[in-house]
Structures are given as structure tokens and as C-alpha cells.
Amino acid sequence: MADLNEIADKLSGLTVLDAANLVKMLEEKWGVKAAAGGGMMMAMPAGAAAAPAEEKTEFTVVLKDSGANKINVIKEVRAMTGLGLKEAKDLVDGAPKNVKEGVNKKDAEEMMKKLEAAGAKVEIK
């Protein structure tokens, strides 16, 4: 078995962006979805899984362009994602990039409004 202290030390050295990428990688590898907020995951009703052609419930907020007021866009991205200053700046500088994935329609629209108010061009997929 791997040395757990060594693994903990390596994980402590990750940036927030690297940690987020690690979570996505492990979700794909293990076929699971991390619960937000550490709460218990709720089971889907039996009929919900079988319903064909349901309305899309998960959306991705995509930053297309940071616009002229990049500092305000970085501030909004940090507030929405919990990223550090460097990671948020890298995300904004690397546009087009996904800001947040798997959010509901209401939250995606709120994020879009805030980012557009800060001067960014945003798309919801």
C-alpha cells in the first residue's frame, strides 16, 4: 500500500486548478460524481432516469472573451469558482475557457449576467 503521508504531502502541493483537474480525472476514472459542499448525495427517483428527451438540466458557463475590464472579470471568476488569483487570471487570460460546469440553468444565467456586467463575453452551453 502507498505511503499515505507521502500522498497527502503531494496533494498539499497542488494548485487549486490542478486539484480541480485531479477531481475531474478521478470522477471519469471511477465513474462517480463528487458531491458539492460535502453533503449526502440524494438518489434520483426511479422514473427520472427512464424519461427520454428531458430538458437539459446541467449547463456549462463558457468565458469567450474577457473584454476591456479584465480585472473585474477576474474578480467575478474568483468569486464564482473559489480559484486563487493566479488560477483565475490564467483562466481569464486563456479564454475561451469553461468557468463552471454542471450548474443548473438559474445559476448559469446568474453567472452569465455577473460576468457580462463585469465586461466579459459569455456563453452558456
Asked if residue 60 lies in contact with residue 80, where contact means CB atoms within 8 angstroms, the answer is no
- Check pLDDT > 60 for residue 35: yes
- What is the average pLDDT across 21-31? 82
Separation in Å, CA 90 to CA 61, 96, 100, 104: 16, 11, 15, 25
- Check pLDDT > 80 for residue 125: yes
Task: Give the cell for residue 113.
Answer: 449576467
Query: Where does residue 121 rank: exposed (0-12), middle (13-18), buried (19+ CB within 10 A)?
Result: middle
Is the pTM above the cut of 0.95? no
- What is the average pLDDT across 36-49? 52
Tell me: the pLDDT tens digits for 57-91?
788 888 888 888 888 888 888 888 888 888 888 88
Percentage of residues of the chain with pLDDT beyond 90: 0
